[in-house]
Chain A
Amino acid sequence: MYKNVIIKPIITEKSSLISANNKYVFQVSTNVNKIEIRNAVERLFNVKVTGVNTLNVRGKKKRLGRFEGVTASWKKAVVTLKDGYKIENFEKLA
């Protein structure tokens, strides 16, 4: 059930940078709210969450010849953990 909330970790230069502040970035399902995300992270990784920030990433317009389309929109969540907790092997989850 929690696996439907959290889709995958986002590992980029920026996400590795803020992981120093105990913040982890995930792609989450578009129809979940912050409370559901907090619960999912706490249960899945056995940690305490102090904050969740979310944002919607709009799909990009893409064109293939005369056909125009958009890539899917998705939701990003930045989860802050309580001091002393961390997600082991975060990078290996991808």
Chain B
Amino acid sequence: MKVENIKRQDNLVTFEVEDAYSVLDVAIDKKYRELSKKVKIAGFRPGKVPKGHFINYYGFEHLSYEALIDLLNDAYPQLVDDHHFEVIDSPKDIQIINLKENEPFRVSISVEVRPDIKIKNYKGLRLEKNAVKVSKEDVQQEIQSFLEEQSSFEEDEKAAIKDGDHVTVDMVATIDGEPFEHWTKNEEEIKVGNSVIDKQFDEALIGSRLGDRSTFSVSFPDEGTYNKEIAGKTVAFDVTVKMIRVKSVPKLETDLVLSKTAFKSVDEYKKSVEEKLRTKQETTANNKLKEDLANAIVDLVKDVIPEVMIKHEVEDMIRHMENGLRQYNLQLTAYLSMTGKTLDELRADYHDEAIKSVKYNLALDAIAKLEKMVVSEAELQAEIDEQLKFETDEEKKAIYRVRMESMKDSIKEPVLKRKVVDWLLENAKIKKK
């Protein structure tokens, strides 16, 4: 097929396609064969009607138009590829210029393409990076929470209840004199301080001893209770303590370190905690820096983004979210009814974020083009190796490798983006905070 008269206006590309009638004739023949089986014509069994009579019955214009659309559908992807149109949507308009028997046909197609982003001043962006600082208190806190996890509970008949203990109680709950089944239980184990029933409930228990019986009441607010029956009500409790298990937090000693961690001494463990916190902070700082960079880049893009791209991006985001939800065995519709939102509202929520993401991606592409950055074969191979790192089965590895080789372009894209981001960071003026 010949492509002529390519015109571009903003993001809309219009071009004309021409080819000989013989090409169309083949398509018409194919369409006739396909349709003659479906169309019922008096005097003929389906599929038995001669072509001439069928065309007469169906109309040449009608049939040739349908054949043409089929023809274009088949040829279009190749056409777009050959002429490097970066289309972002299905063709907007197809106009027939000439479609007659025994004459070359000619069609004009217009389609939206990826916008050319004009971007400058992206070199030497001013950014700030949070300094990494791990204090002794941070380390101590981390160690403390590790010790808390290792704490044990031992039955103590004489102790008074304190925060963190586990107690077993018999409890009777009433609302306005009526028994409340939900909280009327025997041998109920309660972790004091977890506020499972309410903070007031846990506080009322503190100080009690084994066998103590206490009566108190807890008022619940009108809103924010997980159980609707108690909203705005005052619940009276009658609690008898049956058993107290006192929490004891172990000390950081060599024995503990040896048994519960992979380290050989307390110092070594402390050092590793510090190191862990440092890398954590470093990652957070880097992520923040990259986010700031993304925002700065997005701000540089002043071009208008085609609505279609935003729409596609929003759909992508929703699809992504749907996949995420599926991991929790949740359907999107269920999620929507839970949050009380309609799909359109969700789309509206994602709209701004989608614009940002589209702008960011376009900007990175534009910068890559301006700076003539490409992904080399070696880099591509390195990426594939990286992705296959965790696959131990050699046979599967080989299969994946072949599959990845075939979709090089989609692998190259993120690699190129990462390269651009690294380059931008290298060339940015980063101030440490």
Q: Mark A1-19, 1 if CB is under 8 A from B, else 0.
A: 0000000001111011000
Question: A12–B44 contact, CB under 8 A?
Answer: yes
Question: B52–A11 contact, CB under 8 A?
Answer: no
A91 CB within 8 Å of chain B: yes
B118 CB within 8 Å of chain A: no
Chain B residues near A60: list those with CB within 8 A: none
From the candidates A11, A13, A15, name the one contacting B45 in the complex (CB within 8 A).
Answer: A13
Question: B48–A92 contact, CB under 8 A?
Answer: no
A64 to B56, CA, bound (A): 34
Question: B56–A91 contact, CB under 8 A?
Answer: yes
Which residues of B28-70 have CB atoms within 8 Å of chain A's CB atoms?
42-45, 48-50, 52-53, 56
Question: B52–A13 contact, CB under 8 A?
Answer: no
Which residues of A2-44 have CB atoms within 8 Å of chain B's CB atoms?
10-13, 15-16
Interface of A is mostly: helix
Chain B residues near A12: list those with CB within 8 A: 42-44
Name which of B48, B50, B52, B53 has the most chain A CB atoms within 10 A of its CB.
Answer: B53
In the complex formed, the residue of A with least CB distance to B53 is A91
In the complex formed, the residue of A with least CB distance to B45 is A13
A10 to B45, CA, bound (A): 15
Question: A13–B44 contact, CB under 8 A?
Answer: yes
Name which of A10, A11, A92 has the most chain B CB atoms within 10 A of its CB.
Answer: A11
From the candidates A10, A16, A92, name the one contacting B50 in the complex (CB within 8 A).
Answer: A16
Question: B44–A92 contact, CB under 8 A?
Answer: no
Chain A residues near B45: list those with CB within 8 A: 13
A15 to B49, CA, bound (A): 11
Question: A91–B48 contact, CB under 8 A?
Answer: no
Chain B residues near A13: list those with CB within 8 A: 43-45, 48-49
What is the distance, in angstroms, from B40's C-beta to the closest C-beta of chain A?
13
Which residues of B138-153 have CB atoms within 8 Å of chain A's CB atoms?
none
Chain B residues near A15: list those with CB within 8 A: 43
In the complex formed, the residue of B with least CB distance to A94 is B56
Chain A residues near B49: list those with CB within 8 A: 13, 16
A16 to B53, CA, bound (A): 9
A16 to B49, CA, bound (A): 9
Chain B residues near A92: list those with CB within 8 A: 56
What is the distance, in angstroms, from A33's C-beta to the closest C-beta of chain B?
26
A10 to B43, CA, bound (A): 9
In the complex formed, the residue of A with least CB distance to B44 is A13
A11 to B42, CA, bound (A): 9
A16 to B42, CA, bound (A): 13
Chain A residues near B52: list those with CB within 8 A: 91
Chain A residues near B48: list those with CB within 8 A: 13
A10 to B49, CA, bound (A): 13
Residue contacts A-B, CB under 8 angstroms, 20 given: A10-B43, A11-B43, A11-B53, A12-B42, A12-B43, A12-B44, A13-B43, A13-B44, A13-B45, A13-B48, A13-B49, A15-B43, A16-B49, A16-B50, A16-B53, A91-B50, A91-B52, A91-B53, A91-B56, A92-B56
Closest 9 CB pairs of A and B: A12-B43, A91-B53, A13-B44, A16-B50, A91-B56, A13-B48, A92-B56, A91-B52, A11-B43
